[in-house]
């Protein structure tokens, strides 16, 4: 078990944002329009990194999530909301 | 003749060669400058400015709406009530509560008075916002949020009363009120939003009073030169029985995006007002051109409104308004490390 500097950024506009890393919800603040962002300097990761994302938004809205570990992009995923306005996925990533 | 032709060929060739070399040199220099500026920009600004958009543009002629999007901020101009509005919301994804503010300034006399003359009746609104988000957190279809707005509204204007003494015929009047509203927004799927709100505030009948433009003429006589000088001052006022009263505004809004047409938004609203026991209501429908991949930001909209259903019998034209709404975006560069 090691501690890594982990950064999460989420782009888009959402009515619900649930981003979990290793089972812990990441608080994301809107720092600019379409850009939610949070930086953890020390975050414990038990390989592989578990990612759980659940988003609600508006049809046609682009979304993108970028997870950086030690300043390197570890995971990136993007898409566009359909009429359901709902996206959920889980992923694992070896660090 | 041969010498002349030879001279022309040599001159042309050398000029062309020189020009090409010089142009190549200038082109190379410009490319280097461009590269250096790009490097400098990358060093100084981590991310380029993004348009700053997102707050509700879905409003009626008076700027009222039960719809409230808890995102970012916006700066918008409403041509119907000649208002400018700045809003901002601070929201963190794992906190139920969010908060923000709205500030708007307007003239009571419409946008034409802003452009044509400096003689305006100014008004201002300030709202504090507290909201509760993710009401249907476990649902994959529904989403909802509650918003409480408490604020202050003030305006200043002139009233004319011909029965008063000459010095008191024009009375400068101020109108101030605390405002409050409570709204519920319900999103269904990715393309339907229903909102309802109720509020309380003081209101006045300024809009119902008749416009009056007065002209004060003053003549100054200089006895030394025996010259008279005349100047005029134009004053915009209202005439009629000015009243203030308590008001409970009720708003219902429904915004939807038809399937497979992500660039068109349709907005229906109903407005009810309970004023001293008297009930009035109107409705409207708006059509918006939405931004590509930013469907909650509109490029422009046109709204058709019936202001008061009970007055329709007086003539459709008197109670029918067409309102154009245009959103202006602003951006800023940020430096995140």
Nearest CB to B71 within list A25, A30, A86: A30
Instruction: Give the pLDDT of residue A75.
Output: 94
pTM over 0.90: no
Contact B92 A28 (CB under 8 A): yes
Contact B293 A80 (CB under 8 A): yes
The mean pLDDT of B62-79, rounded to a whole number, is: 72
- Asked if A20 has any chain B CB less than 8 Å from its own CB, the reply is no
- Asked if A19 has any chain B CB less than 8 Å from its own CB, the reply is yes
pLDDT tens per residue across span B205-242:
888 899 999 999 999 999 999 999 999 998 889 999 99
Pick the CATH number of B50-329 from 3.20.20, 3.30.70, 1.10.260, 2.40.160: 2.40.160
Environment class of residue B118 by beta-carbon count within 10 Å: exposed (0-12), middle (13-18) or buried (19+)? exposed
- Asked if B94 has any chain A CB less than 8 Å from its own CB, the reply is yes
Size of interface A-B (CB pairs under 8 A): 111
Contact indicator for B333, B91 with CB cutoff of 8 Å: no
The mean pLDDT of B296-318, rounded to a whole number, is: 79
- Asked if A71 has any chain B CB less than 8 Å from its own CB, the reply is no
Instruction: Give the pLDDT of residue B109.
Output: 56
- Which residue pairs, CB below 8 angstroms and at least 24 apart, start in B258-264? B258/B191, B259/A83, B259/B191, B262/A59, B262/A60, B262/B290, B262/B292, B262/B295, B263/A60, B263/B289, B263/B290, B263/B292, B263/B295, B264/B288, B264/B289, B264/B290
- Asked if B308 has any chain A CB less than 8 Å from its own CB, the reply is no
The mean pLDDT of B302-308, rounded to a whole number, is: 85
Nearest CB to B190 within list A17, A19, A85: A85
Q: Parse chain A into domains and list their residue ranges.
A: 2-93
CA distance, residue B183 to nearest chain A CA (Å): 16
Instruction: Give the pLDDT of residue B18.
Output: 42
Residue with the bigger pLDDT between B42 and B229: it is: B229
Band of residue A54 on the pLDDT scale cut at 50, 70, 90: very high
- Asked if A58 has any chain B CB less than 8 Å from its own CB, the reply is yes
Range scoring the smallest mean pLDDT among B34-48, B143-157, B177-191, B212-226 = B34-48
Alpha-carbon gap, residue A23 to B270, rounded angstroms:
44
Nearest CB to B93 within list A17, A33, A81: A17
Q: The complex's ipTM? A: 0.90
């Amino acid at each position: 078990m090691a501690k890594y500097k982990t950064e999460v950024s989420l782009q888009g506009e959402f009515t619900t944002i649930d981003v979990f890393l290793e089972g812990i919800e990441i608080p994301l603040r809107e720092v600019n329009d379409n850009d939610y962002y949070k930086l953890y300097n020390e975050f414990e990761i038990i390989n592989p990194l578990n990612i759980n994302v659940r988003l609600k938004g508006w049809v046609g809205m682009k979304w993108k999530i970028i997870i950086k570990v030690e300043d390197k992009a570890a995971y990136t995923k993007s898409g566009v909301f359909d009429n359901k306005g709902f996206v959920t996925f889980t992923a694992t990533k070896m660090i | 003749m041969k010498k002349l032709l030879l001279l022309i060929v040599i001159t042309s060739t050398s000029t062309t060669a020189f020009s090409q070399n010089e142009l190549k040199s200038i082109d190379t220099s410009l490319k280097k400058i461009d590269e250096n500026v790009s490097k400098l920009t990358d060093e100084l600004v981590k991310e380029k400015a993004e348009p700053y958009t997102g707050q509700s543009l879905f409003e009626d002629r008076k700027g009222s709406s039960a719809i409230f999007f808890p995102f970012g901020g916006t700066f918008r101009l409403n041509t119907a009530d000649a208002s400018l509005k700045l809003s901002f919301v601070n929201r963190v994804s794992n906190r139920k509560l969010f908060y923000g503010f709205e500030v708007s300034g307007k003239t009571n006399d419409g946008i034409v008075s802003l452009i044509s003359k400096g003689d305006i009746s100014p008004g201002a609104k300030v709202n504090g916002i507290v909201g509760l988000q993710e009401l249907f957190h476990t649902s994959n279809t529904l989403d909802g949020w509650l918003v409480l707005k408490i604020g202050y509204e003030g305006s200043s204007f002139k009233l004319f009363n011909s029965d008063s003494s000459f010095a008191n015929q024009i009375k400068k009047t101020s109108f101030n009120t605390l405002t409050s509203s409570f709204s519920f927004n319900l999103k269904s799927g990715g393309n339907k939003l229903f909102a309802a709100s109720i509020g309380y505030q003081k209101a006045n009948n300024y809009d119902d009073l008749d416009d009056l433009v007065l002209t004060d003429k003053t003549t100054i006589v200089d006895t030394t030169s025996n010259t008279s000088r005349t100047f005029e001052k134009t004053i915009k006022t209202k005439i009629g029985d000015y009243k203030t009263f308590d008001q409970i505004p009720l708003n219902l809004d429904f915004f939807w995006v038809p399937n497979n047409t992500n660039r068109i938004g349709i907005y229906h609203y109903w407005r009810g007002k309970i004023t001293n026991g008297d009930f009035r209501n109107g409705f409207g429908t708006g059509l918006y051109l939405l931004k590509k991949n930013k469907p909650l930001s509109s490029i422009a909209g046109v709204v058709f409104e019936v202001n008061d259903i009970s007055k329709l019998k007086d003539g459709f034209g008197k109670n029918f308004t067409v309102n154009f709404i245009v959103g202006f975006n602003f951006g800023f560069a940020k430096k995140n490390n």
